[in-house]
Structure 1
Amino acid sequence: MTYYVPRGGLPAQDELTTDRAVFTEAYAVLPRGTMRDIVTSRLPHWRDTRAWVLARPLSGFAETFSQYVVEVGPGGGSDRPDDDPRAEAVLFVVDGAPRLTVAGTDHELRPGSYALLPAGTAWSLHNDSDATATFHWIRKAYEPVDGYDTPEAFVTHEDDVAPEPMPGTDAWATQRFVDPDDVRHDLHVNIVSFEPGGSIPFPETHVMEHGLYVLEGKAVYLLNRDWVEVQAGDFMWLRAFCPQACYAGGPGRFRYLLYKDVHRHARLLP
């Protein structure tokens, strides 16, 4: 497996300023070229760490989640990563070898490692190596439901999660890290893959909000009424009901990390 990893830096003064970045009322595209040193954020209680904030709850933007790409330097990390007791998290490692501790148990992570950390989970993360470690961190305020327990924390790897082909095709598949029928979960973070020539063959329009980070390859993606070229390292946000479709032209696979909110009634009052 290959995963795009941003490295920051700054473009030279003789490069063009134009790129594919766009922010609309229905979707946004943050190309990989926007992830530079000068747009990183520092997080409280994290040492030798910087983050690219790709999405955050904001009027006219993401409503249900935040998403970061976090780079932890050698010796960096945190014993107090998130002070919000409502926050659940998914971590997906794309580079390096961070050590995740969940309820006192250590997990040595590697590219492709995936962790679900429900709200209230005690966890910490450290980079004991002499190279940087990079991971995606998706956060959501968990919405408990009477009669259902909070899901359990777990750590796995995408090698251990078989792709499930979509009906009628071998060119489009999804790796689902939790049971899609388990109503305890109010978010799904999956990996969606297309072989060259694969497509989403109709404009999907549905209630889930999406965050898509392209891990590998390139494609043409329908966002609302616009066909947009995207490639490894790009991030897309789609508001609920934004039409989407996709065509993966190759030459290699096209894969992205997908967030969506699931399994809850629509809120009728603030």
Structure 2
Amino acid sequence: MNEKDYYFPLGGLPTRSELLSSKATFKDAYMVMPASVMSDIVTSQLPFFTKSRFWVLARPMTGFSETFSQYIGEIEPSGGATHPENDKRAEAVFFVTDGALTIVLEGEKHVLHKGGFAYLPAGHDYQLWNEAKTTARFHWIRKAYEKVEGLDKPDAIFSSDQQITPAEMKGHEGVWMTSRFMDMNDLRHDMNVAIVTFMPGAHIPFMETHVMEHGLYVLQGKGVYRLNDDWVEVEKGDFMWLRAFCPQACYAGGPEPFRYLLYKDINRHAKLW
């Protein structure tokens, strides 16, 4: 199977014969939104977009996501927006899972195909279009940029999963890898989005517990994730949100790589209230 497969919601509605029970879970330390709940009736519309719809996976709210919002978007051919973002504080990441997405940034056109990645700094005007003949499907992650005096804003980044050579985790070479689109050592960045890959049988060998908030969307494969006190089986199309300090670990299972799109906040002092 192609290692660069990316799941996207199929939409539609469940049949009347299907069970209501699922692994959908909302707890104090984590949330699991399985692919099965992403039906037509839970999509949202956004201002200034045409021929488009969105599944909202995460948004800042009390007791939930603190630092980011994340959408899965669909834009039909000739659809899009001249003003997709109306918050000048918002930086953005786009990752294309199917079709092609055209981004016009400061008058320059960039076309992202399947596996394409873009980082757009806060405060820049851009447009979002589907100029292809098939539906464009993509992730859109937004964060209010935390400016630091003496540091410039990051530059825009245009790349793709196919262009990046995954970095291998020391001691787990060949089985645990991370495709890094952004340089985490560049202190101008206050967020990081990457693709983490575990080959079948690979695992995180300890309970990670740290200050970073996480959003994880499973692009391919399946695994068992430890979330606080629980082991949860997840597969392609499932989304997980992890609060800061939520203990986490995982095992990869199945016949194909277990890959997920990862968001986390980085490189800033803890806010003092």
1:82-231, aligned counterparts within 5 Å? 82-170=85-173, 171-231=175-235
Question: Structure 1 residue 74: deviation in Å?
Answer: 1.6
User: How many residues of Structure 1 are paired with residues of Structure 2 in the alignment?
Assistant: 269
Give the partner amino acid of 2:22.
D
- Confirm or deny: 8 A CA contact 1:35 1:52 kept in the other structure: yes
Give the partner amino acid of 2:229.
R
Question: Structure 1 residue 47: deviation in Å?
Answer: 0.5
**Which runs of 5 or more structure 2 residues have no equivalent in the other structure?**
none
Question: Structure 1 residue 177: deviation in Å?
Answer: 1.1
2:261 is the counterpart of 1:257: yes
Residue 204 of structure 1 aligns to a residue in which SS? coil
1:237 aligns with one of 241, 248, 268 = 241
> Partners of 1:38 and 1:190 in 2: how far apart?
30
1:54-93, aligned counterparts within 5 Å? 54-93=57-96
C-alpha root-mean-square deviation of aligned residues, in Å? 0.7
Residue 245 of structure 1 aligns to a residue in which SS? strand
Corresponding residue number in structure 1 for 2:32? 29
Residue 53 of structure 2 aligns to a residue in which SS? strand
Question: Structure 1 residue 143: deviation in Å?
Answer: 0.3
Question: Structure 1 residue 7: deviation in Å?
Answer: 1.9
Corresponding residue number in structure 1 for 2:7? 4
**CA deviation profile, 1:5-33 (whole Å, cap 9, x unmatched):** 11210000111111110000000000001
> Partners of 1:178 and 1:5 in 2: how far apart?
23
Could you tell me the percent identity over the aligned residues? 58
**CA deviation profile, 1:176-212 (whole Å, cap 9, x unmatched):** 1121211100000000000011100100000000000
Question: Which has the higher mean CA deviation after the structures are superposed, 104-113 or 31-40?
Answer: 104-113
- Confirm or deny: 8 A CA contact 1:224 1:243 kept in the other structure: yes
- Confirm or deny: 8 A CA contact 1:195 1:250 kept in the other structure: no
Runs of 4+ in 1 over 6 A off after TM superposition: none
Question: Structure 1 residue 77: deviation in Å?
Answer: 0.2
1:10-49, aligned counterparts within 5 Å? 10-49=13-52
Question: Structure 1 residue 166: deviation in Å?
Answer: 0.6
**CA deviation profile, 1:109-165 (whole Å, cap 9, x unmatched):** 111000000101221111122321011000000000010000011211111111001
Give the partner amino acid of 1:218.
K
- Confirm or deny: 8 A CA contact 1:75 1:127 kept in the other structure: yes
TM-score, scaled to structure 1: 0.98
> Partners of 2:109 and 2:56 in 1: how far apart?
27
> Partners of 1:177 and 1:126 in 2: how far apart?
22
> Partners of 1:264 and 1:16 in 2: how far apart?
44
> Partners of 1:137 and 1:56 in 2: how far apart?
12
